[in-house]
Amino acid sequence: MTGLFSEVFLSALLFGAVTAAIPLLLAGLGEQMSEKAGVLNIGIEGMMLAGAYLGFVGAFYSGSLWLGFFTGAAGGIAVALVMALLCVRIGLNQIVIGIALTLGLEGLTALLHHFQFSRSYPRLPAVDVTVIPLLSDIPVIGPALFRQHLIVYLAIALVFAMGHIYRRTQLGLNLQAAGDKPAALDVAGIDVMRTRTIAVLTTGALAGLGGAFLANVGAGLFIPFITNGAGFLGIVLAMLARGRPVWVLFGALLFGVCLSLTTAMQVAGINIPTDIIQMLPFLAVMIMLVLFGRRASLPAALGIPYERGAR
Amino acid sequence: MSIASSLSVDKRDIVALEGVTKRFPGVVANDGVDLAIRPGEVHVLLGENGAGKSTLIGMLSGLQQPDEGRILVDGEPTAITSPRHALALGIGTVFQHMMLVPTLTVAENLLLGGPWWQRPKTEELEARVAEITRTLGITVRLHAKVSELSLGEQQQVEILRAMVRNTRLLILDESTSMLTPKGIEELGALMRRLVGQGLAIVFITHKLKEAAAFGDRISVLKLGRKVGEIPPERFRALGEQAIISEIVELMFGKRKDDPEAAERPVRVIHAEAAPLLQVHDLAVAPTDEAPCLSSISFDIRPGEIFGIAGIDGNGQKQLAEALAGQRATMGGSVRLEGAPIEALSVGERRERGLRYLTDDRLGEGTVGTFPVSINFFLKQVGAAPFWRKGVEQRAEIDKRAAQIVREYDVRTPSLKTPVARLSGGNIQKVLLARELAEGAKVVIFNKPTYGLDLANTLASRQRIRDTAARGLAVLLISTDLEELLSMCDRIAVISNGSLVGTVENADDARTKVGRLMIGLAA
């Protein structure tokens, strides 16, 4: 049992937790923005898959991880465009369209993978890490937190950027009004459709980026269904975070630890059936929902398409 | 151009409406309305519910576009295409339903609408608000959440928002409906200060006393048409009582060329006949949208049409539902042919002959996706001869339905057509046929002609008269005074959940009922 609490093990566990948390964080932040603006974005799982696939394709053929992140975000935006058109412009049911997009993208990316990569199973090389001087020398947490790819730091900086947008900018006000009382925003002279479209497209970009991170940094390859519910976990995070980006970060890290523990315990050879270990993250979701779910406060107009003049 | 030449365009008008018409499916909401709005004036738009006030406001604030006619802003014909455009033109609206985001602070609500890439200019706003509130003599808590404010405070915030945006024309839509008497007084004083600063105000209300107290100019709307205007000169010349009686005449007066006019046949009602329906001291608990009903008492004799008049939302629907058994009562008795029925269920009351025609024809009265034929027998589902041992007898239903369709002249493509596809008038015929079917003794009609076109209105009214002529007792609830005057034997007025008076439908009934409706003694 000494292996379980060794410095190396804990450090690897934390490192894995951060790697697993970043896609959840990006998905959660993205979903939070859509929900703030009044759009329940169930299609986020599909957006992540599109991002994972296109992100991998971009990185694999160009050899540049950054180009991969870019194509991944573009993939997420492409799916979000469909969502914005159908659910915001035309006002179709957000849940139905969201599920349809997720299922559609699951099938499409699996099919494309089958034709392109199912014989070769290509992998990307391990990613370069940015080492932060001094901090990275701290025992245990140093190697785990401060020897990460640059995009990890950027994702965490995004948490605070989002907090700033929501609390201190005109866009933040508009987003909240679009979700809580769209008619008030409309008579204030701001286009509700446009505000919600901006939110959904941003969600697409963040979810796509999260997907690309999952494939390129987390796994180094693309396989069908690689997101494995990460988008749905993002929805849970957004609901529990009550509009605060920093709570999405905490939640993502907690789920990240659970996911990482799953791998770490298997590696450490602890004698528990793997099926039970793999249940951990989802058990954590249920416990969190039981503890905090009732206090989740959602925008008043969440899920309701806006129609001018309808009361 | 013929419109423009026939009207004098006054250079002083900030906004003028010329022959503005707006139609919605089945309803003409505004019909050739002319209106002149000037700075330094409170222009009162007075009218009952459904008179077309809100539609007019929708067009001025850019939410809706007129179908005909035009809107002039500063003398220039202008299409107000969006709320943003209206704001840019200096037209600010305080809507009947609060338009503030409850989760944001007052300051944040006032800042809504700025360019999205900018930081909210809080300091600038604070200075501006301080200046405006000082001249208006109001105080506003800028950093309180809107959900913590009273309705009166929220309304002041909305007015302040309009002022922050350099509004020249302020529209107040039913702004007093949610205020306390003190709040109403304060709003009146605030309006005077605002017009004193050269603002134009359009003040919409259905309360006559407010119109007389706060207005400079009054336009009266009735069923989408403007039926009269009292200009400021006349307003000042007349005393309050004279103004009120003039408005009563405009609002409830009889038009000479009324196509709906019908002579009320003199019916002989045997005063000694035992009442079919006796309601005594009926009380119903209040709900979110309706006041409580208290001590409602009346009798209806066979062959009599008893009318309930009043402004919409004063408890009419609650009364009808309480009688039909759809709403719990808190006390009082209801007797049908002398036998108490207040403990009976909806179905049992129907069985005994009490029938209720709802005003919510599609929501409550019919199942829109079911065929016309089934809708005739909705209240007999499972009963012979149309159902036997739980099995629908299609042939029996269709045979009887075809008979009813002929009898009631229901215009439907087929018996299988979903009832929601029919026009409002034909849906009403389906309801009439169902409720007047065998065994009816007392029939409650709630707004039976609401939203119907003229032909169907006349047909429905005739059907109601025939019902009474067959010796049934009829309770007719309507917000259309003309309708009640042309049909009823007696008219009671409901106000805030109580019957405030009952009037025999004689020559002076129009004035008496009209005065009761607006809160004056008959």
Per residue in A151-199, pLDDT tens? Answer: 999 999 999 999 999 988 999 999 999 999 999 998 888 899 999 999 9
Q: What are the DSSP calls for A111-127, one per residue?
A: HHHHHHHTTT---PPPP
Res B271 pLDDT > 80: no
The answer to whether B101 contacts A184, with C-beta atoms less than 8 Å apart, is yes
Mean pLDDT estimate for chain A: 88
Amino acid identity at A130: T
Task: For residue B253, give both structure tokens.
Answer: 């007066």
DSSP helix/strand/coil, B448: coil
**Cα A60 from Cα A212, distance rounded (Å):** 11
- B75 burial type by CB count under 10 A (0-12 exposed, 13-18 middle, 19+ buried): middle
The residues with which A147 forms a beta bridge, in sequence order, are A131
* B146: closest CA of chain A, how far (Å): 12
* B100: closest CA of chain A, how far (Å): 6
Q: Which of A177, A199, A164 is nearest to B111 (CA)?
A: A177
**Cα B304 from Cα B39, distance rounded (Å):** 52
* A196: closest CA of chain B, how far (Å): 13
Query: Crossing angle, helix A170-180 and helix A150-168, to 10 degrees?
Result: 70
**Cα B446 from Cα B322, distance rounded (Å):** 13
Mean pLDDT score, A133-143 = 79
Tracing tokens 């009582």 back to the chain, one arrives at B241
Res B292 pLDDT > 50: yes
Q: What is the pLDDT of residue A296?
A: 63
Query: Is B100 near chain A, with CB under 8 Å?
Result: yes
The answer to whether A188 contacts B119, with C-beta atoms less than 8 Å apart, is no
Q: Which positions in chain A touch B83 (Cβ < 8 Å)?
A: 186-189
Q: What is the pLDDT of residue B266?
A: 61
Residues 6+ apart with CB under 8 A from A113: A53, A222, A223, A224
Query: Is B82 near chain A, with CB under 8 Å?
Result: yes
The pLDDT tens digits of the residues spanning B46-100 come to 876 667 888 888 899 888 889 999 999 998 899 999 888 998 999 999 987 788 9
Nearest CA in chain B to A189: B84
Percent of chain A scored above 70 by pLDDT? 96
Q: What is the pLDDT of residue B24?
A: 75
Sign of CA dihedral A42, A44, A49, A54: positive
Q: Which positions in chain B touch A306 (Cβ < 8 Å)?
A: none
Nearest CA in chain B to A195: B116
**Cα A215 from Cα B92, distance rounded (Å):** 52
Band (pLDDT 50/70/90 cuts) for residue B442 is: very high
Q: Which of A308, A304, A84, A297 is nearest to A184 (CA)?
A: A308
The residues with which B229 forms a beta bridge, in sequence order, are B219
The pLDDT tens digits of the residues spanning A12-67 come to 888 889 999 999 999 999 999 999 999 999 999 999 999 999 999 999 999 899 99
**Cα A162 from Cα A202, distance rounded (Å):** 11
Task: For residue B321, give both structure tokens.
Answer: 């539902």
Res B202 pLDDT > 70: yes
Q: Which positions in chain A touch B63 (Cβ < 8 Å)?
A: 187, 308-309
Nearest CA in chain A to B122: A168
Q: What is the pLDDT of residue B181?
A: 72
Amino acid identity at A286: M
Task: For residue B120, give both structure tokens.
Answer: 């909210």
**Cα B116 from Cα A288, distance rounded (Å):** 35
**Backbone φ, ψ for residue B442 (5° rounding):** -125, 130
Is the model more confident about B318 or about B313? B318
**Distances in whole angstroms, Cα of residue A123 to Cα of each of A61, A76, A109, A117, A126:** 11, 22, 17, 10, 9
The answer to whether A189 contacts B84, with C-beta atoms less than 8 Å apart, is yes
- pTM for the predicted model, two decimal places: 0.69
Q: Which positions in chain A touch B55 (Cβ < 8 Å)?
A: none
The answer to whether A173 contacts B120, with C-beta atoms less than 8 Å apart, is yes
Query: Is B83 near chain A, with CB under 8 Å?
Result: yes
CA angle centred on A176, ends A171 and A180, rounded to 5°? 150
Q: Smallest Cβ distance to B112: which of A177, A308, A309?
A: A177
Neighbour order of strands in the sheet with B27-37: B27-37, B15-24, B68-73, B76-77
Band (pLDDT 50/70/90 cuts) for residue B137 is: confident
What's the length of chain A?
311
Mean pLDDT score, B200-228 = 85
The answer to whether B104 contacts A187, with C-beta atoms less than 8 Å apart, is no
Query: Is A202 near chain B, with CB under 8 Å?
Result: no
Query: Is B29 near chain A, with CB under 8 Å?
Result: no
Nearest CA in chain B to A190: B113
**Backbone φ, ψ for residue B22 (5° rounding):** -135, 125
Q: What is the pLDDT of residue B259?
A: 54
Least confident interval from A152-156, A279-283, B373-377: A279-283
The residues with which A148 forms a beta bridge, in sequence order, are A130
Asked if B64 contacts A309 with a C-beta cutoff of 8 angstroms, the reply is yes
Count of A-B CB contacts under 8 Å: 78
Paired sense of beta strands B305-309 and B473-477, if any: parallel
**CA B382 from chain center: how many Å?**
38
The answer to whether A188 contacts B93, with C-beta atoms less than 8 Å apart, is no
Res B319 pLDDT > 80: yes
Res B352 pLDDT > 80: yes
Q: Smallest Cβ distance to B115: which of A170, A198, A311?
A: A170
**Cα A33 from Cα A37, distance rounded (Å):** 6
Residues 6+ apart with CB under 8 A from A40: A34, A94, A95, A98, A302, A303
Query: Is B101 near chain A, with CB under 8 Å?
Result: yes
Q: Which A residues in the span 180-199 are in contact with B, Cβ-Cβ below 8 Å?
A: 180-181, 183-191, 195, 198
Amino acid identity at A208: G
Asked if A276 contacts A254 with a C-beta cutoff of 8 angstroms, the reply is no
The answer to whether A187 contacts B83, with C-beta atoms less than 8 Å apart, is yes
**Cα A26 from Cα A213, distance rounded (Å):** 10
Residues 6+ apart with CB under 8 A from B267: B303, B304, B468, B469, B489
Sign of CA dihedral B414, B417, B419, B421: negative
Query: Is A295 near chain B, with CB under 8 Å?
Result: no
The pLDDT tens digits of the residues spanning B406-415 come to 888 888 888 8
Query: Is A37 near chain B, with CB under 8 Å?
Result: no
Res B454 pLDDT > 80: no
Q: What is the pLDDT of residue A4?
A: 56
Q: What is the pLDDT of residue B174?
A: 81
Sign of CA dihedral B96, B102, B106, B109: negative
Query: Is B58 near chain A, with CB under 8 Å?
Result: yes
Is the model more confident about B507 or about A179? A179
Asked if A201 contacts A75 with a C-beta cutoff of 8 angstroms, the reply is no
Q: Smallest Cβ distance to A309: which of B58, B103, B111?
A: B58
Query: Is B381 near chain A, with CB under 8 Å?
Result: no
Q: Which positions in chain B touch A170 (Cβ < 8 Å)?
A: 111, 114-120
**CA B388 from chain center: how many Å?**
44
Q: Smallest Cβ distance to B93: which of A170, A174, A187?
A: A187
Maximum pairwise Cα distance, chain A: 68
Mean pLDDT score, B385-396 = 84
Least confident interval from A131-140, A235-244, B14-23, B439-448: A131-140
Query: Is B300 near chain A, with CB under 8 Å?
Result: no
Band (pLDDT 50/70/90 cuts) for residue B378 is: confident
What domains can you pick out in chain A, each with its CATH number?
Answer: 2-133+143-295 (1.10.3470)
The answer to whether B116 contacts A186, with C-beta atoms less than 8 Å apart, is no
Query: Crossing angle, helix A245-267 and helix A150-168, to 10 degrees?
Result: 150
Mean pLDDT score, A260-274 = 75
Query: Is A310 near chain B, with CB under 8 Å?
Result: no
User: First and final CA of chain A: distance in angstroms?
Assistant: 64
Asked if B121 contacts B194 with a C-beta cutoff of 8 angstroms, the reply is no
**Cα A97 from Cα A85, distance rounded (Å):** 11
**Cα B253 from Cα B515, distance rounded (Å):** 12
**Cα B320 from Cα B314, distance rounded (Å):** 12
Q: Which positions in chain B touch A184 (Cβ < 8 Å)?
A: 99-101, 109, 112
Helices (H), B340-473: 346-352, 372-376, 394-408, 424-435, 454-469
User: First and final CA of chain B: distance in angstroms?
Assistant: 47
Interface test with B, best of A35, A164, A173 (most B CBs within 10 A): A173
Predicted complex ipTM? 0.80
Q: What is the pLDDT of residue B264?
A: 63
Interface test with B, best of A164, A166, A167, A170 (most B CBs within 10 A): A170
Reported as type and span, the H/E element at residue B357 is: strand B354-357
**Distances in whole angstroms, Cα of residue A83 to Cα of each of A200, A238, B105:** 8, 18, 31
* B94: closest CA of chain A, how far (Å): 10
What domains can you pick out in chain B, each with its CATH number?
Answer: 39-62+82-252 (3.40.50.300), 277-517 (3.40.50.300)
Q: Which positions in chain B touch A300 (Cβ < 8 Å)?
A: 102
The answer to whether A173 contacts B111, with C-beta atoms less than 8 Å apart, is yes
Q: What are the DSSP calls for A78-115, one per residue?
A: HHHHHHIIIIIIS---HHHHHHHHHHHHHHHHHHHHHH
Nearest CA in chain A to B61: A187
Res A311 pLDDT > 50: no
**Cα A155 from Cα A166, distance rounded (Å):** 17
Q: Which positions in chain A touch B103 (Cβ < 8 Å)?
A: 176, 180
Q: Smallest Cβ distance to B112: which of A174, A300, A309?
A: A174
Residues 6+ apart with CB under 8 A from A133: none
Q: Which positions in chain A touch B113 (Cβ < 8 Å)?
A: 185, 188-190
Q: Smallest Cβ distance to B116: which of A170, A308, A311?
A: A170
Q: Smallest Cβ distance to A188: which of B113, B117, B118?
A: B113
